[in-house]
Every structure is written in structure tokens, then in C-alpha cells.
Structure 1
Amino acid sequence: MPRKYPIEKTRNIGIIAHIDAGKTTVSERVLFYTGVSHKIGEVHEGDTVMDWMEQERERGITITSAATTAFWTPTYVTRTHADINADQRGKEYEHCINLIDTPGHIDFTVEVKRSLRVLDGAVVVFDGVAGVEPQSETNWHYADEYKVPRICFINKLDRMGASFERSFASIRERLTPLAFRAQLPLGAESDFSGVVDLLRVKAFEFQGEKGERVVEIPIPENMKADAEKYRRELIEAIADNDDVLMEKYLAGEEIPLEDLMRVLRKAVIDNKIIPVFTGSALKNKGVQLVLDAVVDYLPSPLDLPPVKGVNPETSAELFRKADDAEPFTALAFKIANDPYVGSLTYFRNYSGVLKRGSYILNGAKGEQERVGRIVRMHANQREEVEEIYAGEIAAIVGLKNTGTGDTLCAPESPIVLERIIFPEPVIGIRIEPKTKADQEKMGTALHRLADEDPTFRVAGDPETGETIISGMGELHLEIIVDRMKREFGVEANVGRPQVAYKETITTEAEAEGKYIKQSGGRGQYGHCWLRVKPLERGKGFVFENEIKGGIIPNEFIPAVEKGVKEALTRGIIAHYPVVDVEVALYDGSFHEVDSSESAFKIAGSMAFQEAARRAKPVILEPLMKVQVIIAQDFLGEVTGDLNSRRGKIETMTDRANTKVIDAKVPLSDMFGYATALRSLTQGRGSFSMEFNSYEPAPNNIAQLIIEGKKK
């Protein structure tokens, strides 16, 4: 079956924002205006298309990234080519938009990160009252990390207290000086009625019961001066990116709209300009013009550089461009368990064509699998397809050995793309099945859920044998337990949340590990010397083999590494996992007869434990970025309380009639904060919290942790 849409008319975009900025409401309008759904779903009514999990509809938040494919013909085409029939218009101007709606709650950051890794562009949604919020900053930094071109949409301009200018200023101050107004709002709060398009010098209102008619109106007299001022600012920024345009601009010539749009498109793709649009998705105002901007300014797969990887056999650098004729190369960015079809592997196809029934290679694992069925996803509905082309997003049903971040490729052209790095879990709870019948099912359920979510971990407590599950926050784990019950029929009792402490070393050290056992017959002999040194925070574990001249045979080297890895999980001073350490194997010896893998594994473990003990180990605790919003009257009590929780206050700013406090506070001191804040502010305060970093715990706190008195 030939490609329906040329690759230059394909857009892979995500909608990202802080919780409650209105992402899902924007997505639902997109689905309605593009004809994917014939009814607008509302978050507050629990009937949205993109939020399809029961937990999402109950809580009114997005938990997983829902993917869907929609088609869009820009509104200026339908307005200016009314004489062309719809079929012709569709063929010539319609674009295919693969849309991913991501969560805003910090506990589900993994969904945002893995989506941004495979997207070509993003629409960043802001609340017109609150402006930039903590999760907006986190998501923005992820988008910077992956160099994702983006446009902004200041939403909720109909709300009391909304201000386009204040929200725009917060984007400029806290996120980027490259933001420029592409639109201005007509009116504010309950009088908000439409937008002024600064490039086209036109105003638009949205008429009809669902705002489906985009109607051009004259720019009101009282807005002409502002429109002219901000249009000049935008055009100057655009002209800065093109010498010919700059000459025309300086000469005072009128620059044609097509030239402005062409250069603005290139500047957005190069992350040199971020245009800001506005509207109210709930009131059906502005979303169609954002879709126009997605088509006009965000990149197609062809606009971006070829994807880079390495040959797993030779380590040579490889490049694959977005072309159907190139070898098949894709990244698996999400694993989901569907109750009807089983395991679904979502993938982004970077190059080549994937056909149903073909064989693919997992580049990292070196294993081949057959592609049984390919589906294009619409939230949780599936459309079966025969093939997927370069630049498209789809899912494969039933892959057995593929994990998040694995590269899928043509067996004859192996490649491994850069993996997605996920944050470490910061909170854990003990969990036990309610009945004997739940015991076995619980293990299966937890491991299925862990396959889906790289920030969710399952481990056994070596001392008590209890199961401990860890994640990014209390809500994250609450939803995991809820899904176990609903999807797998497993009832479980859970303990109190506990902080996921880690251990690390602070200096270099060396140690010997020698395991010799003689008890009649063949003995055991393993002997190695290890050097350990600390790594930067977040770098994990690195193993270096410095053995020369075969003093330890090659077949025993992996056994030493395995022994070290096992010792890492057991900890040094308080049984917490050891992180951010480099281990080098540099010396040792072996016995022709008695040496074995198991002996070298034990020797590796012994050497690491001794070296780590000498390397001044410390306990690391998670530090959280906390934002508290309160009335001015409660400032003293709230800051005093944060200080008592070992918090460091970084900034205090004014927002409308409230005070916004930004602080860093250890997670262990934040349990029960919601109740404390309610009591301190008579129920008039709110806060949000996200993981910031792991930092060494002060000595007195570390001692309490070691003694088990601090959870």
C-alpha cells in the first residue's frame, strides 16, 4: 500500500505542560476540529478520548502518553480557496499530524521524557493565570535536552485573573529570551473573544456552537498601536535570521508574508525563535490557529538532521536519514499492555519501511523477532496497517524481548541509537498480597507494569524477603497498586511510603578480593584487584577492564563485573544501592584448574565491598524542588515551617494576589506536608513538588538513616 501522505506533510508533535494547564482539553479540541472525534470530550466530565484509562478519567489527569493520528488542512486554505472542492483541497493541502498528549504531573515525567525523545516538535501549553509553573520548567529543559523545536500556547485566557502579558513575561524571564508574540488576545477574562494574528495583520473570532468557524474581523482601533509595535518586534527577530530580509527591513520595505513565514519556519526549526500563540481551549477559541502553526512552523521529519547511531559490531558511527529507501531504523519508546491484544511496543520509525510479517533485529540485544501485526493507535483504539513508512509513529503487537529505549532495525543493517536515560525512583513502599491466591499473580502483574514503566522498580528486601516497589512519587505508586487491582485482579496491602536513599563513595580507593576454597577434589580460585572512584551525580555505574597480558583470562572478566553489580545492590553502610561509581579491574591472578566464573564473581564482590568501605562512603538523600503558593498573610508561618523541614528558600515572587515560594527540601521531610500547609494557611495554600537531585545527607541525618530511625 503506497504512502498516503508525503513525508514533508507529516508532523510528529507532543503537547506538553504543567498539570492543569489544559493540555488534554487542547488535544480534545484538536481531535474534534480535525474530524477524528465527532464530540468534544471534557476532562471535568470524564469523557475525554485521550485520557482513556479509568484512573485518568476519575482523577481528571493524564497518566500515560496517548498517541493518535489526525489530519489538518490550514484554515487560511479553507478561507481563501472556498471555490476548490473539499477532496481536492484535502489532497493538496492536508497534513498528517501524529499527536502525543503527555502528562503534566511530576510523578509521570517518564512519559514526557520518552515522548520528547521521538518527537519532531512540541506545543507547550501554559495556564494564562499561573504562567510558567515548576513542571513547565522541567518539561522545557527536557525539550532543550533533545533540541525539540516548539511553539507556545497561553491557554485559559477566559479565566478570572488571566493575563497574556504576565504569562508571556514569565516565559521570557524563566524559560527563554527567544519567545516572541505571534498573536495578541482580543479582550481578557470573560470578555476574551478572539486573537490578532501579528504576521497577517488580521483579527479572528471563533463562531458557531463549538467555535468551529474561524471568522476574520477588523482589528479593533484600540489594539492597532500594540499590534503594530509587537509586529515590528516579531519581524525584526525574523529578519535577524536572514540577511536578505534584514536588508529589506532596514530599508523600510514591506516584506511579503510568504518570505516571513519561510524564514520564521527555519528559525523555529533551528530553535532560534519560539512563537507564542493564545486562546481558550475550553471556550473553543484559538486551537485551529495553533494547528495552522503546527503545519506552518514545526518540522517534518525531512527538516531535521539524520538520526545518529553506532554499529553494534564495529562501534562505527552511522547516520540514517528520513527516507523510505534507507534501511529500517526505529526506536521503541513505550511498552504497554493492552487487555485485548497483549503487549504493544510503540515505536518511532526514523528510516525505511516496516512491513507486516518481516523480521526485525533488536540492535542492543542482538535478537531477532517477527513482526506479526502493526497498528496505528488512536488513544486506546487500534487501526491495523500493513506497513509503516519513515517518519511515522505506530505500535507492534506481541514483541517478546523489546524494552523501552531499544533500537529496532533491519537485520542486515544493524544499528543502535542513543538510549533514553530515565530518573531514578525516589520513593518506595512495601507491598504484600492479601491472599495466597494473589501471591503468584502479584509477581506477574508487578513485572508486567515494570516492563511498561522504566521509573517503576520491583525489588525484594534481602533481610525480610518482603517486596518493595519504588517510583517517582506517592501518586505514581498509588496508581500502580490501583492498576494491579483493576487490570490483574490482584488485591494488595501496602506499607507507609519510604524514601529511596542511595549510597556513593567520595574518594578513590583500591582493594583486593581473593576467594580460595579447597575441600577435596577441585577447589575454587578467584583473585582480583579493583580500583573505585566517584562519578558525577546521575552517571550510574561504569566498569573498566584494564587487565593486560591475560593475567585474568577474558572469560572470567564478566564474572568479576557481575559480582560488583550484585555488591552494588547490597550497599556499603546501610544496605542502600550504590550509585555513581566507576570500578576498574586492573590486576589479579588465576589457577589453571581451580578458577571458575563463580569464584571470580565472589572475588569481585569482596574486592568492591572492601574498596568502597575505604573510599569514604556517604548516604545520598533525594532533594525536591518545591513550589508553594499562598496568600501574603501566611508568608511568615510557611517560610518558618519550610526552614524547620531543612528547606532552603531560593526565591519569593509575587503572582497576582499571591506569594510564590521556590525552595529545595529533602523528600524525607516533606511527608505530610499537604496537611501541614492546609492547617498553616486555613486551606488557602497549594504546593507542587518534583525531584531535583540526590545530595549527601548531613552526618546527623545519615546516622539516623543507618540506625533505621528515619524513613
Structure 2
Amino acid sequence: MLDVLKNQRTYALVGHGGCGKTSVAEMLLYVAGATPKLGKIEDGTTVLDTEPEEIKRRGSVQPGFATFQWNKNRHFLVDTPGDLSFNGDLGYILASVDAVIFVVDAVDGVKPLTKKLWQEVSKFRLPTIFLITKMDRDRADYDMALNGIRNQLGVKPFLQNIPIGKADTFAGVVNIVENKGYAFDSSGKMSEIAVPADMQDEVDGLRESMMEEIAVCDETLMERYLEDPSSVSLDDLVAATRKAVVCSELYPVMVASGLKCMGGQRILQAAQLFFPSPLDVPVGQKMVEAEDGSLHPVSPDAPPACFVFKTLFDQFAGQLSIMRVLTGTVTPEASLLNVRSSAKERFSSMLFMLGKDTQPCKEPVGPGGIIAVAKLKETKTGDTLCEEKHAFAMLRPKLPEPMISYALAPAEKGDEDKVYQAMSKLLDEDVTLRLTRNEETGDMLLSGMGQSHVENAVERAKRRYKANPVLKAPTIPYRETLKGKAEVQGRHKKQTGGRGQFGDCWIRMEGGARGAGYEFVDAIVGGSIPRQYIPAVDKGVQEAAHRGVLAGFPVVDFKVELFDGSFHTVDSSEMAFKIAGSLAFKAACEKMKMVLLEPIALVSVSIPDEFMGDVIGDLSSRRGKVLGSDSTAGVTEVQAHVPMSEMQEYAKALGSMTGGQGAFTMAFDHYEDAPPPVTEKVVAEYKAKRAKEE
């Protein structure tokens, strides 16, 4: 088992949407002999993009998983989506791999989304190889991409390879460490060649710099290098490079063309040489941190534990729980405790994945292995499975909050339960989706990381579960408030032949500061209203305020002082005073000025500098107030306060303005007075809805 683990590699492909990750993954699988032919996104023949929505979009909407052999060594590969709408659970994936191949497009270079993804990868301090791909394309610019890695991502690149040619002349690479050239052909094969004569001077200079960079990471090697550079062998350089990469002190840079299958062998060799095994650590013994802060050693001999980091649906096997073996050794007949649900889960089998295909795993799997287990009854994404006597829950990475919500309704009345059940099943697969009900508006809300994310979930529900949900813009959670003061009476008197109803109260009501909330003051003296009825007045006011006055939205930020009233010894009751409180509130609202409040979001937009003017102009057209902007290495971050009602279609608008290079986050910030046109529109819609219901 130790020999197997020593040469095992578990890594993820990460990069912005369209940078070529899936093409690189297809190349690696083909070169390794895991697939008989090279799949292409344009033809819909890739192994890892298998969902109909992925083939239609020509882009990943969920992670793709592949287990394959390279030179008799097992590799576990995860191809992650590059669109921010579909990679909200990236933290779970990064917590489940040992290294990253970070893909940068040679045509577009580093984008704002690239920067955000690198920030996420950096949190996990994972050993990383940067791969500049699409080197065969027109406008491919290696130096531009390299400078983006250096200046925009803040990474000091270690030049493992430099390209021979570019665009239609891209033919191979020069390996700086080995001081050798390698030529590629379209079949994925590679042959050793001499370093091109016109590149030799450049290679010599880079090699000297490279040796100094490696030596800096190894004091013993540095001493030898300073005394006699010729005493440092190639094996010394490779060993020192591996140590520095594992410690995240060096970040090798490589080049390739996934579409033309050029460079796959070099990438696999580099992954095998420089990426850590599951047992390798920068310092000391590798540990797994639990939620309670305890640490658990990673060893094939430790009690087994697994982390479920993704759930997928398979049309034949049903629900598949994708998990990393954290520690210990797991067998196909394992029976482990789900720490969250306290359920004992028995594995009927273990599976290795290659896209949508699965292969039974009949041998034990140790730390770092990624396996799929079908039909676990009480297990969800984020759960830890382990031995009951050594139970712990792994500390889970924090997931981002959903950015956008849509109201969900059935296309036909009476299908509400069917729609709800279908969408609930999707929540098991995608932990970044939320399904809630807004008690205030009655809307069933589907929340996700972006418009595409939500729309894709609806398409899957229609295709898989024959439900027919319809997306609508959610009801904006406006509020109402009051300005001024009023002193009014609320009197409820009803006689029906038996015991009557009587409640009488006087209140002073005034508007409060924004965010002050509701305040009720009991100023009754002399027993004009008995103590037991005073809370009923308060409740009557609150219930009436919740129903709203202007447009049916809750009234907030006001103060009520109950100072007088009267009662009847027989006819008074809590219900009578509750109604009296409600009547008093409505009477005060008629005397005071009612104001509609609209929710304002804090919006942060990341775009290349050249789009700043367009983006700021668009935010202003949405009644936004720009708070400031900050530019770093060609990327501008704009912050603004924007009404939430103006942000429903912003994702599409930003994509159109920036050619897909923009990204934004949005969170509720505060309420402000709505301008008269907005108030008039909202009130008119409310009255029309009421008239229709009546």
C-alpha cells in the first residue's frame, strides 16, 4: 500500500471559463491511454462534459472526475467548472485534492475571474503548476500570459518549459531544467530534439536564473552551487524542485495545446515528478483538521475516514457520493458512521470514475483516493464518514452565499409539490443551490450563484424529474415607514346579543430613524387599561404593521406610545384590544406620511481596466451610487450601492459589456426612501393585484 500511495497523484484542473481545462483533461486521458480517442468540446464528444446542458453550453457546469493509470501510477483528476456560476463548491474540491494545475489562456491571458480563482486556490496553499494553454491559436501570446501570472496574480513563475514557436508554428518546448528540447505531434507523442540554435542563448540565461531560484529553496544545494555549480546534477535539481513545489515555494510554468494534443506527456511527467503523494507534507506529519479543532494523522494504517465533497446523479446507479479517503484504508465492503446523521452507511460497492462511466473498485483504497459510492441513504455533500470508535467531522471550507434568487412557480396550478420535490432532489447534488419560501411574499425562492446557475437547475429538473417549473423575478422585499407624528384613538365596540366586544386605546405614534426598528412604550397610569390587555394592543399594532398600508409590505422603524384608554369589565378581552390596537395603527397612518423603502445592495464588480467607464455608466443608469474604485495590475474593482430591483438581469448585462470578463458579488446593505416613480409603480402593481384577487 505504501508503494502505491508514494506514486499516487490527486489533483484538480482550475481556471476561468473557456481557458481550455476540459480540452487539457481530454488530452491527458488520451495520452495516458485511458480513452481511445481525443474528445472535443465542439463535437460534444468529451469524456468529462456529459450532461446535456454542458454539451449545449460547450462548457462545464459540474466537476468531471477521472481515475487513470500513468506509467503504472494511479492518478485522480478533477476537472472543475470555470464559470463562477457553477464553481461555488470549489472549496470542497480543493480540500479534497493534493495539488492543482492552474490553466491560463495564452490568447486572453489573466482575467478578473482568473484572479478570483487564484485567490481561492491560494487559501489552501496547494502545490501548483501553471499551464499556459491554447499555444496553437492565433493571437497566442506566451509573454503576455506569463506577465499576467507574475503581475496580476502576484506569483513568481518558475520557468519549467518555454515554447518553441507559437500559433501555427507552435511545435514543442524546451525544458529549462533538463536543457533539452521536445517536439510534439498531433497524435500526442513527443520526441527529444536539440535546443533550437536561435533559443540557446535565452535558454542558457534562463537556466542560470532557474538554478539560483532552486538553490535559494535548499540551503545545502545553495552551498554546493556557490562552491561549484558543475557539482549540481540533474537529479539534484529535480529533487530540490520537487521539494520546493510541494512546499509552495516554486510554481512551475508549462505550455500546451489541448485541442491539438501537444504537451500532454510533459504535463503528466511533471505531475508525477513534482506533485506530492497523499502522504507528502511540507513540514512534519500530514494531518486532517476536525470541526472541534482536533488533528488526525494521515496514514493507511489509521482508522478510515472519508469526506463527501460532491454528489452526482447517475441514470443507472442513482445518487453517487463522491468522496476522498482522508485517512486509513477503505474496502468495498466498508461500513462507516455518518457523523452528521449518526447513520451507519454500508458500502454495496466502490467505484472509480471516468466521466459518466464507472468501474468497480475491488481493492482497498488508501488516503488521497477519490471513490464513488452509490445509494447511500443518509449521506449528503459535506458529510464525513468514519469508524464509530474514532468519529470526527472534517472541518469543512466555508461556501459562498448565493448571489441571486428567482421566484419558482409551477407552469400549471396544482403542481407545486411536484416542483418542490424535483428541486429538492437537486439540492443534494449542488450545495450552492438554496430552496426557501419567503413567508412575507409567499414566493418559493430558488437561489444560486448566478442566473445561468439557476436556469441550469430548472432545465435539469424538467429533464430528469418531468417537473415544469417556471422562473419569475422574485418579489422585491420593499418596506414601508412613517414620517411625522400622530395621536389617535383605536376603539372597537361590538354588541351581538350576548357578551359583547369592547376595547379602547389611545396611542402616540412617530417615525423613527432608519434601522431603529419598532418600539412599544407602555405609558398607562391609573389602570385605564388593565395590565393583561396591554400586550394585546402591542400585538394588534405589530400585526397591522406587518400587513402594510401603501403596498402590502411591512411597516418598520416607528415608535408607539400607549398612554390612555378604557375598558368594560364584562365585554373587554384580549381580542378586542388587539383589534383596537390595529385600528389605532391604521388611523395614525392616515394622518402621517407613508414612505416606501427599497432595499439597496452593496455591489462589487471586477473588470479589466478598459471596461471601467462602461461599467460605471451602467451602474449609474441603474440608480447606483459609485462608492469608489481600485485598480491593480490591469483589473479594476468598482464598489457601488445599487437598488436590488435594478440588479435582476445584471449578470447578462455585465457579460455583454465585458465580453464575459467581468465578475460581481452582491449583498443586501440597507434600505433607502424609494423615489416617487418607483413608489407609484409599486403601489399601482399592488392595487392591481388586490383588485384581481377581489
Q: Which TM-score band applies after superposition, normalised by the shorter structure?
A: 0.7 to 0.9
Q: Is the counterpart of residue 325 in structure 1 residue 301 in structure 2?
A: yes
What residue is the counterpart of 2:130 in the other structure? 152
Which residue of 280, 286, 302 corresponds with 1:303? 280
Instruction: Classify the secondary structure of the residue corresponding to 1:319.
Output: strand
Query: Aligned letter for 2:659?
Result: S
What residue is the counterpart of 1:52 in the other structure? 50
What residue is the counterpart of 1:61 in the other structure? 59
Kindly state the Cα deviation for residue 676 of structure 1 after the two structures are TM-superposed: 6.1
Checking the alignment, whether the CA contact within 8 Å between 2:106 and 2:145 is kept in structure 1 is yes
Which residue of 387, 401, 408 corresponds with 2:385? 408
Q: Is the counterpart of residue 242 in structure 1 residue 250 in structure 2?
A: no
Q: Name structure 2 gaps, 5 residues minimum.
A: 480-545, 547-551, 556-596, 686-694
Query: Aligned letter for 1:375?
Result: L
Which residue of 73, 96, 101 corresponds with 1:118? 96
Query: Aligned letter for 1:408?
Result: L
Kindly state the Cα deviation for residue 299 of structure 1 after the two structures are TM-superposed: 0.7
Q: 1:672 to 1:494 in 2, by over 3 A?
A: closer
Instruction: Classify the secondary structure of the residue corresponding to 1:52.
Output: coil
* TM-score using structure 2 length: 0.75
Q: Quick one: distance in 1 between partners of 2:15 and 2:477?
A: 27
Kindly state the Cα deviation for residue 286 of structure 1 after the two structures are TM-superposed: 1.5
What residue is the counterpart of 2:189 in the other structure? 213
Q: Quick one: distance in 2 between partners of 1:59 and 1:169?
A: 30
Q: Quick one: distance in 1 between partners of 2:615 and 2:438?
A: 37
Q: Which moved more, 1:33-42 or 1:227-236?
A: 227-236
Q: Quick one: distance in 2 between partners of 1:127 and 1:279?
A: 10
Q: Is the counterpart of residue 621 in structure 1 residue 601 in structure 2?
A: yes
What residue is the counterpart of 1:483 in the other structure? 460
Q: Quick one: distance in 2 between partners of 1:437 and 1:636?
A: 48
Q: Is the counterpart of residue 104 in structure 1 residue 82 in structure 2?
A: yes
Query: Aligned letter for 1:383?
Result: Q
Instruction: Classify the secondary structure of the residue corresponding to 2:389.
Output: coil
Query: Aligned letter for 1:247?
Result: E
What residue is the counterpart of 2:470 in the other structure? 493
Query: Aligned letter for 2:287?
Result: V
Query: Aligned letter for 1:45?
Result: D
What residue is the counterpart of 1:392 in the other structure? 369
Kindly state the Cα deviation for residue 287 of structure 1 after the two structures are TM-superposed: 2.0
What residue is the counterpart of 2:532 in the other structure? none
Kindly state the Cα deviation for residue 574 of structure 1 after the two structures are TM-superposed: 7.7
Q: Quick one: distance in 2 between partners of 1:356 and 1:216?
A: 43
1:416-445 per-position Cα deviation (integer Å, ceiling 9, x unaligned):
210131111111111111235743332221
Checking the alignment, whether the CA contact within 8 Å between 1:156 and 1:281 is kept in structure 2 is yes
Q: Quick one: distance in 1 between partners of 2:359 and 2:456?
A: 28
* TM-score using structure 1 length: 0.73
Q: Is the counterpart of residue 355 in structure 1 residue 334 in structure 2?
A: no
Which residue of 399, 411, 423 corresponds with 1:422? 399
Which residue of 643, 649, 667 corresponds with 1:694? 667
Checking the alignment, whether the CA contact within 8 Å between 2:450 and 2:651 is kept in structure 1 is no
Query: Aligned letter for 1:320?
Result: P
* Count of residues in Structure 1 that have an aligned counterpart in Structure 2: 565
Checking the alignment, whether the CA contact within 8 Å between 1:199 and 1:231 is kept in structure 2 is yes
Q: Quick one: distance in 2 between partners of 1:337 and 1:501?
A: 38
What residue is the counterpart of 2:482 in the other structure? none
Checking the alignment, whether the CA contact within 8 Å between 1:140 and 1:175 is kept in structure 2 is yes
Q: Quick one: distance in 1 between partners of 2:391 and 2:33?
A: 40
Instruction: Classify the secondary structure of the residue corresponding to 1:216.
Output: strand
Q: Quick one: distance in 1 between partners of 2:2 and 2:43?
A: 35
Q: Is the counterpart of residue 204 in structure 1 residue 182 in structure 2?
A: yes
Q: Which moved more, 1:138-147 or 1:479-488?
A: 138-147
Q: Quick one: distance in 2 between partners of 1:276 and 1:258?
A: 19
Instruction: Classify the secondary structure of the residue corresponding to 1:303.
Output: coil
Kindly state the Cα deviation for residue 135 of structure 1 after the two structures are TM-superposed: 2.1
Q: Quick one: distance in 2 between partners of 1:186 and 1:684?
A: 35
Q: Which moved more, 1:245-254 or 1:271-280?
A: 245-254
What residue is the counterpart of 1:257 in the other structure? 234
Q: 1:440 to 1:699 in 2, by over 3 A?
A: closer
Kindly state the Cα deviation for residue 70 of structure 1 after the two structures are TM-superposed: 1.3
Checking the alignment, whether the CA contact within 8 Å between 1:44 and 1:60 is kept in structure 2 is yes
Checking the alignment, whether the CA contact within 8 Å between 2:112 and 2:608 is kept in structure 1 is no
What residue is the counterpart of 1:177 in the other structure? 155
Checking the alignment, whether the CA contact within 8 Å between 2:310 and 2:322 is kept in structure 1 is yes
Which residue of 442, 445, 458 corresponds with 1:468? 445
Checking the alignment, whether the CA contact within 8 Å between 1:7 and 1:301 is kept in structure 2 is yes
Q: Quick one: distance in 2 between partners of 1:390 and 1:635?
A: 47
What residue is the counterpart of 1:529 in the other structure? none
1:458-504 per-position Cα deviation (integer Å, ceiling 9, x unaligned):
111214433111111000001000000111111122102678999xx
Q: Which moved more, 1:291-300 or 1:136-145?
A: 136-145
User: Could you say what the CA RMSD is over the residues aligned between the two structures, in angstroms?
Assistant: 3.4
Checking the alignment, whether the CA contact within 8 Å between 1:428 and 1:499 is kept in structure 2 is no
Checking the alignment, whether the CA contact within 8 Å between 1:652 and 1:661 is kept in structure 2 is yes
Q: Name structure 1 gaps, 5 residues minimum.
A: 74-93, 503-569, 577-616
Instruction: Classify the secondary structure of the residue corresponding to 2:54.
Output: helix
Query: Aligned letter for 2:26?
Result: E
Kindly state the Cα deviation for residue 5 of structure 1 after the two structures are TM-superposed: 6.5
1:668-698 per-position Cα deviation (integer Å, ceiling 9, x unaligned):
44555577679xxxx8851444344636247
1:46-93 per-position Cα deviation (integer Å, ceiling 9, x unaligned):
1111001010011101011111111113xxxxxxxxxxxxxxxxxxxx
Kindly state the Cα deviation for residue 359 of structure 1 after the two structures are TM-superposed: 1.8
Structure 1 residues 309-708: aligned runs within 5 Å = 309-310=289-290, 315=292, 317-321=294-298, 323-386=299-362, 387-435=364-412, 438-496=415-473, 621-627=601-607, 639-645=616-622, 646=624, 647=626, 650=629, 662-664=637-639, 668=644, 669-672=646-649, 686-692=659-665, 694=667, 696-697=669-670, 699-700=672-673
Instruction: Classify the secondary structure of the residue corresponding to 1:119.
Output: coil
Q: Quick one: distance in 1 between partners of 2:598 and 2:288?
A: 38
Give % identity. 29
Q: Quick one: distance in 2 between partners of 1:426 and 1:708?
A: 26
Kindly state the Cα deviation for residue 414 of structure 1 after the two structures are TM-superposed: 0.9
Which residue of 179, 196, 200 corresponds with 1:224? 200
1:251-294 per-position Cα deviation (integer Å, ceiling 9, x unaligned):
34222111111111111111111010112211222221111110
Q: 1:417 to 1:689 in 2, by over 3 A?
A: same
Kindly state the Cα deviation for residue 629 of structure 1 after the two structures are TM-superposed: 7.7
Checking the alignment, whether the CA contact within 8 Å between 2:409 and 2:470 is kept in structure 1 is yes
Q: Quick one: distance in 1 between partners of 2:422 and 2:207?
A: 56
Q: Quick one: distance in 1 between partners of 2:424 and 2:477?
A: 19
Kindly state the Cα deviation for residue 319 of structure 1 after the two structures are TM-superposed: 1.5
